[in-house]
Amino acid sequence: MNTKLIKTGKTVEGKEILAVELTNTKGTYVKIYNYGAIISEFVVTNKQGKKQDIVLGFDEFDQYVSEDYLAAYPYLGAVVGRYANRIKNGQFTLDGKAYQLAKNNGADCLHGGVSGFDKKVWEVLSTIDPSLTLRYVSPAGEENFPGTLTVDLTFKLTDEDELILDYKATTDEATIINLTHHGYFNLSPEGGSVKDHIHRMPASNYLKQDDNYVVDGTLIPVEGTIHDFLAPKPIGQDWDPQEGYDQTYVLDKEYGELTLASETSEPKSGLTLAVYTTEPIAHFYTGKYLDVKNGRNGSGYNAYEGFCIETQHHPNAVNIPTFPNTILRPGEVYSQTTIYKIEPTTIS
């Protein structure tokens, strides 16, 4: 097991950009930047015995902050917060006080606003083999959220090919919080559309969304719909090819229990990505809006060439009293664990 810290020689807003490489005894390798807590590379061994990167990303750090990339920004590999997904009209009320957030996605607030945790330089707290702990302190009023929020995020790579993400957060006054990781995965050795990946999710219900993908609190059974992944099937089997999936699923689980959120396999590589989480929700996104130039090895990333499993609390929950609580108060600790585990193909 090995952890290596690399100075990139780059800065953002005067803060040093560092890369941290985690490698296990199997040669599985993960590269993480302290900017946005971005997982830039996740290299595993496929069934042909070849090394394969299963996440979308860039060869050079500068590409993550380039004007072209930010103009059609897809949050490649980043942690998003202070509040993942969409908040209706960018508005919420907390302890009787109304807050107006940025409307950075139509009329709504998406992924924490204009400059969320995905665009921040995190402090490297420790690099103990084989793990990395990052910290970001979000000051009160940042993106108009109340309270100073301190977030610690630990990445740990095991010899079982598990990449474990452990989140902890505290605040000095009441605030709202909903964190997730926005990695795009593609398990094919050749890249391209993920429509033939085999996918399943233990989720009997999904959440109704408006035309801008904002949920209103209504649960809809997946049975008899294109959203039914209770049994394994190709991602593209039932989808609208002009839309793909951008849908929030309610996992069949006990609240807070660490269980399977999804399992996705690709026959050519023989790889399966299993995602486990303590969170109640998995937002499944197949990259309709992907439009990235000069990705890994100079290749572009187009629509439907990556999928995201965004584990989190219910979107817009701060405005829907029947949803699980996303309010954090002084003296409380927000915690979440999500695991990305690479396994031999088990579903077909």
Write out the catalytic residue numbers: 182, 310
Where would I find the H helices in the chain?
67-71
Query: What's the sign of the alpha-carbon dihedral 278, 279, 280, 286?
Result: negative
Give bridge partners of residue 12 from the DSSP assignment: 15
DSSP for 96-115?
Answer: TEEEE----BTTBEETTSTT
Phi-psi region of 281 (alpha: psi -120 to 50; beta: other; left: phi over 0): beta
Rounded CA-CA distance 285/274 in Å is: 16
Tell me the chain's radius of gyration from C-alpha atoms: 19
Q: Which position has the token pair 């985690």?
A: 22
Identity of residue 308: C
In this structure, are residues 153 and 133 in contact, taking their beta carbons and an 8 Å threshold? yes
In this structure, are residues 309 and 275 in contact, taking their beta carbons and an 8 Å threshold? yes
